[in-house]
C-alpha cells in the first residue's frame, strides 16, 4: 500500500510539471501538485504507523515500542522491550536462591506424592496435640479452626533442622495454601490455625498474581521494626464476621527459612509487612482481637461472643477429646 501511494505521488507530480503528460492549465496544475503532496504525506504516515504497531517495513514483528517525539523538531524515540521484572519481594525471596525455590512455591494446588501414613502419635509429636493425621504426609483439605480453639493459644515450637527443606514441609505448605484459598478473602494462614502448633506460616501479598507472590516462612522472627505505627482494618479466618483497626509498625526486618531450607533476611513494608505481623502473632499465641482498641473491641464483642457460644453449643471441645 505504501509503495502504491509513492508511485501514485510520483505520477501526479509528473503531471503537475508543466503538463508533460496532459495539457492542463495553471489552476489544474496547482491542484495536481497539492494531490502529490498529500500522497507523499500519506506514505509517510504509513511508515510511521508501521513503527507505532511495532512492525518493520518488511512486515516482520518488532520488539520496539513507539515512545513519541522528544520535542517539536526531534525524531520519534524508540525504547527497548519492557523488562518483565518480578515484584521486589519475590526477587529477594527467590532471586538469590534460584528457580528451584521459585518453582517449589508455585501452584499450591499441584498435587504432591503422598508419603507413607504414620501412627497418630507421630503427627502429634511433630505438630502438637491437635495436629490432623496426615497433615504433612498427604495432600488434604485442612480445616481452619475457629476461635476459641485451644491450638490458637498453645505454644508453637520451632521446626527442627532435620525437617528443613523436606517433602513433609512442602506438602504441609501446599495444604496451608489450599486451606487459605478456600476462603475467598484469605491472604495469610499460620500453622496453628489448622491445629498444627509449629512455627510456620504462608501468605499471598498480591491476589492478582498469586503464583508469584506466595510466600512460605519457617521459624520466622522479627529483628527490627519501625517506630511509626499505622492503623489498618484487619480480619482473620479464625474469626468470621469480626474485624477492626489494628496498629502495627509500618515496616519490619525479618529473618526466616524458606521452603527449601535456605535462611534469608528481608525488610518488609506495606501490605506484606502487615500480613507477616498478623500471622507472626499467631505463632506467639496472639490473635488480632487482643490488639483491638477498647471501643472497637466493645463493638465487635457480640460477634466474638457468638463464636464462643457456637463452640460450646456444638461440643467441639468434646469432639477434640474423642479424636485424641
CB-based burial, 285-300: b 16+ in 10 Å, e otherwise: eebbbebbeeebeeeb
CB-based burial, 262-282: b 16+ in 10 Å, e otherwise: bebebebeeebbbbbbbbbbb
Active-site annotation holds for 109: no
How buried is residue 180: exposed, middle or buried, by Cβ count under 10 Å (0-12/13-18/19+)?
buried
Q: Are 289 and 239 in contact (CB under 8 A)?
A: yes
Look-up: residue for cell 503528460? Answer: 21
Q: Which of 234, 260, 272, 279 is catalytic?
A: 279
Query: Cα(277)–Cα(281) distance, rounded to whole angstroms?
Result: 6
Q: What's the CA angle centered on 41, arms 36 and 46, to 5 degrees? A: 125
Residue 321, helix vs strand vs coil: helix
Q: Are 246 and 231 in contact (CB under 8 A)?
A: yes
Would you state the cell numbers that stand for residue 46, as one nine-digit string?
504509513
Would you state the cell numbers that stand for residue 286, as one nine-digit string?
496472639
Query: What is the DSSP annotation of 120-188?
Result: HHHHHHHH-TTPPTTTTTS---PPPPPTT-GGGTS--BPPPGGGTT-HHHHHHHHHHHHHHHHSTT--E
Query: Cα(205)–Cα(187) distance, rounded to whole angstroms?
Result: 7
* Type and span of the H or E element at 254: strand 251-257
Would you state the cell numbers that stand for residue 248, as one nine-digit string?
502495627
Q: Which residues are catalytic?
A: 279
Amino acid at each position: 500500500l505504501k509503495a502504491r501511494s509513492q508511485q501514485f505521488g510520483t505520477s501526479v507530480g509528473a503531471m503537475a510539471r508543466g503538463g508533460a503528460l496532459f495539457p492542463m492549465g495553471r489552476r489544474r496544475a496547482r491542484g495536481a501538485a497539492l494531490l502529490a503532496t498529500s500522497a507523499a504525506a500519506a506514505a509517510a504516515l504509513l511508515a510511521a504507523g508501521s513503527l507505532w504497531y511495532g512492525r518493520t517495513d518488511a512486515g516482520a514483528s518488532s520488539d520496539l515500542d513507539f515512545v513519541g517525539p522528544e520535542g517539536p523538531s526531534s525524531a520519534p524515540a524508540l525504547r527497548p522491550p519492557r523488562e518483565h521484572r518480578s515484584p521486589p519481594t519475590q526477587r529477594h525471596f527467590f532471586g538469590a536462591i534460584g528457580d528451584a525455590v521459585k518453582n517449589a512455591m508455585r501452584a499450591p494446588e499441584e498435587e504432591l506424592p503422598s508419603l507413607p501414613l504414620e501412627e497418630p502419635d507421630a503427627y502429634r509429636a511433630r505438630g502438637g496435640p491437635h495436629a490432623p493425621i496426615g497433615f504433612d504426609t498427604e495432600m488434604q483439605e485442612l480445616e481452619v479452626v475457629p476461635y476459641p480453639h485451644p491450638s490458637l493459644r498453645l505454644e508453637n515450637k520451632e521446626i527442627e533442622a532435620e525437617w528443613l527443606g523436606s517433602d513433609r514441609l512442602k506438602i504441609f505448605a501446599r495444604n496451608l495454601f489450599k486451606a487459605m484459598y478456600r476462603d475467598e478473602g484469605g491472604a495469610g494462614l499460620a500453622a496453628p490455625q489448622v491445629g498444627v502448633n509449629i512455627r510456620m506460616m504462608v501468605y499471598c501479598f498480591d491476589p492478582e498474581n498469586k503464583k508469584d507472590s506466595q510466600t512460605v516462612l519457617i521459624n520466622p522472627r522479627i529483628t527490627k521494626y519501625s517506630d511509626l505505627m499505622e492503623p489498618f482494618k484487619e480480619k482473620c479466618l479464625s474469626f468470621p464476621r469480626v474485624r477492626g483497626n489494628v496498629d502495627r509498625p509500618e515496616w519490619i526486618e525479618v529473618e526466616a527459612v524458606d521452603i527449601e531450607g535456605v535462611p534469608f533476611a528481608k525488610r518488609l513494608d506495606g501490605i506484606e509487612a502487615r500480613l507477616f505481623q498478623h500471622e507472626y502473632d499467631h505463632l506467639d499465641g496472639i490473635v488480632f482481637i487482643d490488639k483491638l482498641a477498647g471501643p472497637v473491641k466493645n463493638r465487635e464483642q457480640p460477634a466474638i461472643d457468638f463464636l464462643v457460644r457456637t463452640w460450646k453449643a456444638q461440643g467441639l471441645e468434646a469432639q477434640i477429646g474423642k479424636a485424641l
